[in-house]
Chain A
Amino acid sequence: MPETTPTTAPHHAASAPDGAPPTAGTPEAAAARLDAFRLRQAPTYIPQGEEEAVFAAAFSARLPVLLKGPTGCGKTRFVEHMAYRLGLPLITVACHEDLTAADLVGRFVFRDNETLWQDGPLTVAVRGGGLCYLDEIVEARKDTTVVIHSLTDDRRMLAIDKTGEVIQAHPRFMVVLSYNPGYQSLVKDLKHSTRQRFVSLQFDHPAVPVEARIIAAEAGLTAADSHRLAEVGARLRELRGFGLEEGVSTRLLVYAGRLMRAGLAPVEACRAALSQTLTDDAAMAETIDDIVRLHVGDLMDDHGHGRADA
Chain B
Amino acid sequence: MTTAMAAPTPDHGGLSHGFALDQVGWAHRDLFERAIGDLMARGLIGPERREVTATFFGLLRQADRGSWDHVLRRFLGALTPRNEWLLEVPALFADVVGLGRDLAARRPHRGGRFFAILAEKGLGETPAQVRLALDQARRLCGLDDDLALAFLEGSAELSRRLQPGAIEAFVDAGVAAYGRQPQSGRAFLEGRLESAAALLAALSRECRLQDRRSALAALLQALAGSRLELAPRTALGGLLLEGRGTGSVCLDGVLYLPESVCRSEHRHENRAWYTLAVVCAAAAWRLGAFCRLGDPRRGPRLGDLAGPGNLRLNALILAEGSRLLAGVRRLWPGARGLLRAGLAGEWQSPAGAARPEVLWQALAEDDPGGRPDGLRRLLAATADAATVFETAARLEDGLIEALRRDCPDLADAVLPAVSFIPDDLALAEPAPRPDARRSVITAAPPRPDAVGAGSTAPVEAGQPEALPAEAAEDDDAAPPTAFVYDEWSQDDQDYRRGHCLVFESIPEPLETAPAPPPELAVEARRVRAAFERLRPEALRRERFLCDGDAIDHDRLLRALVERRIDPSPRFDIYEKPRVNRRDLAVALLLDLSGSTGEATAAGPRRLDLERQAAAVLAEGLDALGDRLLMGGFRSRGPRDCAFVVFKGFDEPWSTLTWQRLQAVQPGDSTRIGPALRHAGWRLGQTACRQRLILMITDGKPMDVGYEPATHQAHHDVRKACEENARLGIRTFAISTEANSAADLEIMVSTPRFVILPELRDLPRLLPRLYGRLTL
Contacts and interface: CB of A to CB of B under 8 A. Distances in A.
Interface of A: 1-2, 4, 97-98, 100, 102-103, 107-110, 115, 141, 162, 184, 186-187, 234-236, 238-239, 241-243, 283-284, 286-287, 290-291, 293-300, 302, 304-306, 309
Contacts of B445: 242-243
Interface string B142-161: 00000000000000000000
B573 interface: yes
15 contacts: A97-B579, A100-B576, A184-B454, A187-B689, A234-B225, A241-B444, A241-B461, A242-B444, A290-B219, A294-B332, A297-B334, A298-B336, A298-B338, A299-B272, A305-B272
B549 A102 contact: yes
B212 A300 contact: no
A306 B448 contact: no
B271 interface: yes
A293 B338 CA distance: 11
Contact of A299 (B223, B335, B686): B335
Contacts of B334: 293-299
Given A98-B579, A284-B218, A294-B223, 19 more contacts: A97-B579, A102-B550, A107-B548, A107-B550, A110-B573, A187-B689, A235-B225, A238-B224, A241-B443, A242-B221, A242-B445, A243-B445, A283-B214, A291-B219, A294-B332, A298-B334, A299-B272, A299-B338, A309-B211
A299 B337 contact: yes
A283 B212 CA distance: 8
Contact of A287 (B222, B225, B456, B549): B222
Contact of B219 (A1, A287, A306): A287
A309 B334 CA distance: 22
Number of chain B interface residues as a range = 35 or more
Q: Which of A1, A110, A290 has the most CB of B within 10 A?
A: A290
Q: Which of B211, B334, B551 has the most CB of A within 10 A?
A: B334
A243 B461 CA distance: 12
Contacts of B685: 186
Nearest to B271: A305
B176 interface: no
Contact of B550 (A1, A235, A242, A305): A1
B405 interface: no
B333 interface: yes
Contact of B268 (A107, A294, A305): A305
Contacts of B551: 108-110, 115
B218 A287 contact: yes
B353 interface: no
A238 B571 contact: no
B561 to A, nearest CB: 13
B553 interface: yes
A102 B541 CA distance: 14
B577 interface: yes
B687 interface: yes
Contacts of B224: 238
A283 B685 CA distance: 30
A137 to B, nearest CB: 17
A184 B455 CA distance: 9
B127 to A, nearest CB: 14
Contact of B341 (A115, A293, A300, A304): A300
A178 B399 CA distance: 60
Contacts of B275: 290, 299
B577 A100 contact: yes
Q: Which of B212, B268, B448, B549 has the most CB of A within 10 A?
A: B549
B219 A100 contact: no
Contacts of B448: 241, 243
A69 to B, nearest CB: 18
Given A108-B551, A238-B225, A242-B444, A187 B272 contact: no
A294 B279 contact: yes
A305 B223 CA distance: 20
Interface string B582-614: 000000000000000000000000000000000
B537 to A, nearest CB: 16
B163 interface: yes
Contacts of B211: 309
A125 to B, nearest CB: 19
Interface in B97-122: none
Contact of A242 (B218, B336, B553): B218
Nearest to B583: A187
B550 A162 contact: yes
Contacts of A110: 551, 556, 571, 573
A187 B584 CA distance: 12
Interface in B239-254: none
B344 interface: no
Contact of A187 (B548, B577, B579, B687): B687
B215 interface: yes
Closest 10 CB pairs of A and B: A305-B268, A102-B549, A300-B337, A294-B332, A294-B334, A287-B218, A299-B338, A238-B222, A309-B211, A293-B334
Interface in B535-574: 548-551, 553, 556, 571, 573
B688 interface: yes
A238 B221 contact: yes
A103 B328 CA distance: 56
Contacts of A239: 218, 221-222
Contacts of B335: 294, 299
A249 B364 CA distance: 37
B449 interface: yes
Contacts of B689: 187
B538 to A, nearest CB: 11
Contacts of A287: 215, 218-219, 222
B222 A291 contact: yes
Interface string B312-350: 000000000000000000001111111001000000000
B480 to A, nearest CB: 25
Nearest to B217: A242
Nearest to A234: B225
Contacts of A103: 549
Nearest to A267: B334
Contacts of A296: 334
B338 A300 contact: yes
A300 to B, nearest CB: 4
Contacts of A302: 268, 272
Contacts of B223: 235, 238, 291, 294
Interface string B260-302: 0000000010011001000100000000000000000000000
A238 B286 CA distance: 14
Nearest to B688: A187
Nearest to A301: B337
A259 B476 CA distance: 67
Contacts of B336: 298
Contacts of A283: 214-215, 218
Q: Which of B217, B222, B685 has the most CB of A within 10 A?
A: B222
Interface in B203-243: 211-212, 214-215, 217-219, 221-225
Contacts of B686: 186
Contacts of B271: 304-305
Contacts of A243: 445, 448-449
Nearest to A188: B687
Contacts of A109: 551
Nearest to B684: A186
A243 B443 CA distance: 12
Nearest to A300: B337
A109 B552 CA distance: 10
